[in-house]
A and B are shown apart, each in its own frame.
Chain A
């Protein structure tokens, strides 16, 4: 079974721009969660989508948004990029049969904001 895939793997943007990241979950998984990883703040939860609905949200500004499609693929958007948005963005998928399902991570998208 193929794992979680994320595209693109690397991205360079400038301040003020916006960016869209994509995540394809493991086949059959209905939940997709997004995390931000930085050296200073570590791994932080952004939001979770299940059945095309945002089910939970972390403590990030409204510039961070996402969506999920009917095939469970998910996209994350960051508008008006700031230097501090430079990070590794990870998505994780799970079956979501229960709320505490095992999450499997993709390789991440490395975003650099100049």
Chain B
């Protein structure tokens, strides 16, 4: 089955700086890569996703890049704000099933 690795496990940045979280996956059949943000006591919230026919996608301060050859994808958050503090999960899925394989999460802390 698919195996998704995520790094780093914790990340602290100063407000206004950028944050980068990286994930690798093992199954070349995977073609859908969402990123979720989870705040304390809440379920994961989708923040951005990318499909294998696209190399990069942006949404305001958030961007995701995908390198299918190297089987890795990354989340970039620019101009970080204290409200960006949360746990971020990457995930991967293939066309065979509507199930997500998640990374182990990155706890992001933005220091005011």
Contact = CB atoms under 8 A, between A and B. Distances in A.
Interface in A13-45: 31, 33, 35, 42-45
Interface string A33-65: 101000000111100101000011011000000
A90 interface: yes
Interface of A: 4, 31, 33, 35, 42-45, 48, 50, 55-56, 58-59, 90, 94, 96, 98-108
Interface residues of B, number: 28
Contacts, number: 67
A35 B103 CA distance: 13
Contact of B45 (A59, A101, A105, A108): A105
Interface in B15-35: 31-32, 34
Most chain A beta-carbon contacts within 10 A, residue among B41, B97, B98: B98
A3 B51 CA distance: 24
Contacts of A59: 1
B102 A105 contact: no
B46 A100 contact: no
30 contacts: A4-B43, A33-B98, A35-B100, A42-B102, A43-B89, A43-B100, A44-B102, A48-B97, A48-B98, A50-B98, A56-B98, A58-B99, A59-B1, A90-B43, A90-B44, A99-B96, A99-B97, A99-B98, A100-B93, A100-B95, A102-B34, A102-B46, A102-B49, A103-B34, A103-B46, A103-B100, A104-B46, A105-B44, A105-B46, A107-B43
